[in-house]
């Protein structure tokens, strides 16, 4: 059953073969050598030019603040942003799969960019969150 559907959950196996979930875990992990891992988000790949641009910016920042006193370094403010979708079609933990050895988990495509969402942005310094 696991070979046919790697995303099968222990509860389904428990109902099908009528043995306890603990026994199923033992069989899958110890006897058959499976491990249960979450699927992997498919990341946005950066082009070589984008990677070089990020590297150059990071080097400039290091040069700027390398010879400054420690008080000056505390003035650095950085930020991050992410899209938060109003509805998630599934939770990542529900996309767990049973894999053997060096097998990779299934890729999970990111949600459709046209779905309703908001942009969340946070800025922070060495002192904490900056509003």
Whole-number pLDDT of residue 52: 96
CA–CA dist 25, 36 (Å, integer):
10
Mean pLDDT value across the chain: 77
CA–CA dist 5, 7 (Å, integer):
5
pLDDT at 65 over 60: yes
pTM (2 d.p.): 0.41
Q: What are phi and psi of 65, to 5 degrees?
A: -100, 0
**Closest by alpha carbon to 126, among 85, 76, 89, 83?**
76
- For residues 82-104, average pLDDT: 70
Question: Which H or E run contains 6?
Answer: none
Give the largest CA-CA distance in the chain: 68
49 band by pLDDT with thresholds 50, 70 and 90? very high
CA–CA dist 114, 2 (Å, integer):
34
pLDDT at 82 over 70: yes
Terminal CA-CA length for the chain: 52
Helix/strand/coil (H/E/C) assignment for every residue in 76-98:
CCEEEEEEEECCCCCCHHHHEEE
Whole-number pLDDT of residue 119: 92
């Amino acid at each position: 059953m696991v070979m046919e559907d790697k995303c099968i959950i222990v509860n389904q196996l428990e109902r099908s073969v009528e043995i306890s979930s603990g026994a199923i875990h033992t069989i899958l992990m110890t006897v058959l050598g499976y491990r249960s891992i979450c699927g992997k988000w498919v990341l946005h790949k950066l082009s070589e030019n984008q990677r070089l641009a990020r590297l150059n910016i990071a080097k400039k920042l290091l040069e700027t603040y390398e010879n400054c006193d420690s008080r000056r370094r505390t003035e650095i403010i950085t930020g991050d942003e992410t899209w938060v979708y109003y509805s998630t079609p599934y939770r990542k933990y529900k996309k767990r799969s049973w894999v053997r050895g060096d097998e990779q988990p299934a890729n999970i495509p990111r949600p459709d960019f046209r779905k309703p969402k908001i942009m969340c942005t946070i800025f922070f310094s060495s002192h904490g969150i900056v509003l």
